[in-house]
């Protein structure tokens, strides 16, 4: 099943003549530019300028979202049209309202995922804090400390794994925003949660199958092709299920 979906994604991309490349390149350039700017600000302004650093960070994040979110919706629309077989004349026009909804969706998903990350990692964090406090009150042996730290590490890894599976319930949000122009950001999230029920592990394992591709991406294959191939495959998966 997964192999057939990936073959469909390759066929859709090849038939479309790589018209996704300009948008994908723009997204990658924006990510690079904002990363370099933030690094430069942190380098040139020292710790004495913490208020200025905080102001720059607070200003750059909304600008980054406003720049990238509409492009993500445009690219998702392109992938959707390609997966449906529309291979020529793909010029998705999301409009100003679509751009606003894309920005709202990205912001809402960021805070939702941040909340669930805190929930899933709360147990090892609280347990670690209690252990540190207890160790401060009365010292424990080195062996016991290693045992507790190993257990906390396993808890943290397990929490991260369950978190990665759980948040797949929001993975179709941008897809549904591209599918239904009358959907709001909240509607897209709600529909994603409804349509992914019982399929979270399947979606996560499908994404996990791209890890070797992503690892090759850094050293051999160009990221400009691998990432769109990954996104196109996800679009084909969402259409099939």
Q: What is the residue-wise DSSP string for 3-34?
A: HHHHHHHHHHHHHTTTTTHHHHHHHHHHHHHH
Could you tell me what percent of the chain has a pLDDT over 70? Answer: 71
Q: Give the residue, 191 or 216, on which the prediction is more confident.
A: 191
Domain count, the chain: 1
Residue 47 lies in a domain: yes
**Poorest-pLDDT segment among 113-122, 145-154, 191-200:** 145-154
- Distance between the two ends of the chain, CA-based, in angstroms? 11
> What is the reported pLDDT for 240?
77
Inform me whether the pLDDT recorded for 90 exceeds 60.
Answer: no
**How does the average pLDDT of the chain come out, rounded?**
78
What is the rounded CA–CA span in Å between residue 43 and residue 41? 5
Residue 226 lies in a domain: yes
Q: What is the DSSP letter of 77?
A: H
Residue 115 lies in a domain: no
Element holding 76 (H helix, E strand): helix 50-83
Inform me whether the pLDDT recorded for 122 exceeds 80.
Answer: yes
Q: Distance of CA 20 to CAs 36, 122, 131, 135, 229, Å?
A: 24, 40, 51, 55, 10
Inform me whether the pLDDT recorded for 98 exceeds 60.
Answer: yes
At CA 181, angle to CA 167 and CA 83, rounded to 5? 70
**Confidence band, pLDDT 50/70/90 cuts, at residue 190:** very high
Give the residue numbers spanning the domain of 84: 2-105+168-240
CB 103 within 8 A of CB 201: no
> What is the reported pLDDT for 212?
82
Residue 33 lies in a domain: yes
């Amino acid at each position: 099943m997964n192999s057939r979906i990936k073959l469909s994604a390759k066929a859709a991309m090849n038939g479309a003549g790589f018209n996704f490349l300009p948008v994908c390149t723009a997204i990658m350039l924006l990510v690079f530019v904002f990363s370099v700017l933030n690094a430069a600000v942190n380098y040139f302004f020292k710790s004495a300028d913490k208020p200025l650093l905080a102001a720059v960070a607070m200003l750059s994040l909304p600008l980054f979202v406003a720049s990238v979110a509409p492009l993500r919706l445009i690219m998702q629309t392109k992938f959707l049209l390609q997966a449906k077989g529309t291979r020529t004349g793909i010029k998705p026009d999301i409009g100003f309202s679509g751009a606003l909804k894309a920005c709202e969706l990205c912001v809402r998903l960021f805070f939702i995922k941040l909340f669930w990350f805190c929930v899933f990692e709360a147990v090892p964090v609280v347990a670690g804090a209690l252990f540190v406090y207890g160790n401060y009150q009365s010292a424990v042996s080195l062996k016991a400390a290693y045992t507790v730290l190993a257990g906390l590490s396993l808890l943290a890894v397990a929490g991260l794994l369950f978190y990665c599976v759980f948040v797949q319930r929001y993975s179709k949000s941008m897809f549904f925003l591209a599918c239904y122009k009358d959907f709001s950001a909240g509607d897209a999230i709600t529909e994603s949660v409804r349509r992914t029920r019982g399929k979270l592990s399947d979606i996560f394992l499908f994404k996990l199958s791209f890890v070797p591709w992503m690892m090759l991406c850094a050293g051999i294959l160009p990221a400009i092709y691998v990432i769109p191939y990954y996104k196109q495959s996800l679009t084909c998966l969402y259409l099939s299920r």
